Structures are given as structure tokens and as C-alpha cells.
Amino acid sequence: MSSFIPLARVAVGDQPYEPFVSKNNQFIVAFVLLLISLTLSGVFALNRSLISLPVVGVPASLAFG
């Protein structure tokens, strides 16, 4: 992490960067994911078992992430 690589003359098309989730949908996507995560956490809290740990815990944590 000390020096720059020489900048090659890259042929850049007129292709602007588009994010995976567009700016207008950020709130709704994040809200739905958080809701799923909290619901699944609640389900896991009521029914703590070795099976529900991967079945409910994994999607809950992924949704939170």
C-alpha cells in the first residue's frame, strides 16, 4: 500500500456506475430486511433449539447483515 500503479489508458465507455440497490429504493429494501431479521430473531427467541439455530438464525443474521 505504498505506491500507485501506473495508470493505463483505459478505454472507458460512457457507462456510469449503477449501484445494486438504487438510491430511491435504499430505505424500503433496508426496512424490509431489518423487519425480516427482527421477526426471525423473535421466532428464534421463542423457540430456541439446535434445529432453529441454522433454520431461523442464519437467515435472520444474513438479513441483518
Judged by CB under 8 A, does residue 27 bind another protein? no
Site for another protein in 30-59 (CB under 8 A): 37, 41, 44-45, 48-50, 53, 57-58
- The count of chain residues that interact with another protein, using the rule CB under 8 A, is 38
Identity of residue 24: N
Q: Which residues of 43-53 are buried (b: 16+ CB within 10 A; e: fewer)?
A: ebeeeeeeeee
Residue type, 26: Q
SS3 label, residue 40: helix
Which positions touch another protein (CB under 8 A)?
1-8, 10-23, 26, 37, 41, 44-45, 48-50, 53, 57-58, 60-62, 64-65
